[in-house]
Amino acid sequence: MSATIAALFQRLTHGVYVIGVGEGEQRNAFTAAWVMQVSFAPLLLALSINTRHSSYRLLKEQRAFSVNVLGKDRLDLAAHFGQSATVDKLRSQSWTAGHTGVPLLRDAIAWFECTLEDERPAGDHALVLGKVIDGKLLDPGAEPLAYRDTGALDGAAALFPDSFETS
């Protein structure tokens, strides 16, 4: 494990998001930092998801997901949705269902709703492309939370290698 390499990778600037998946009784959401826009036409977002997350199955089944942008002061939500789904993470939160049924958080500063467009394996994760079908700015003046400001919340230092592979 390498705290030095973890600190290096935290200099790649990311926001902090809650990805909502599923519908009906089968809903869940998890914290993600590896999210980006990848196209204007069509409007596409990409995210990287660990295929062992319980959210992954729901994302594949529903073929949709939401991206909820967290505000600067909502480290509590990043920690809450960073837990595993052994607890019902949405029960204590205020949310509405999007067109596809996926949860949209009322405490986000903005959200996007996406339909699953494509998926590629990416090492120990899957790279998922979503077509943006709706979106809303809930708090236009709010600053987004930065991944770097989440410190060791995701425990990533334990997952980085001790050194780089040079060949």
Q: Which of 10, 20, 28, 102 binds ligand FMN (CB under 6 A)?
A: 28
The residue range among 44-52, 90-98, 102-110, 136-144 that interacts with ligand FMN, by the rule CB under 6 A, is: 44-52
**Residue 42, CA distances (Å) to 100, 131, 132, 144 in order:** 18, 7, 8, 25
Q: Determine what percent of the chain falls in helix, strand and coil, rounding each to the nearest 5.
A: 20, 40, 40
85 binding ligand FMN? (CB under 6 A): yes
Residues 6+ positions from 40 with CB-CB distance below 8 Å: none
The residue range among 115-123, 136-144, 148-156, 158-166 that interacts with ligand FMN, by the rule CB under 6 A, is: 148-156
Give the span between the Cα atoms of 143 and 129, in whole angstroms: 25
**153 and 78 Cβ atoms separated by less than 8 Å:** yes
Give the span between the Cα atoms of 17 and 9, in whole angstroms: 18
Q: Pick between residue 125 and residue 166 the one whose CB is nearest to ligand FMN.
A: 125
The residue range among 24-32, 36-44, 105-113, 130-138 that interacts with ligand FMN, by the rule CB under 6 A, is: 24-32
Draw the binding track, 94-123, toward ligand FMN (x: CB under 6 A; -: no contact): ------------------------------
Q: What's the closest the beta carbon of residue 99 comes to ligand FMN, in angstroms?
A: 22
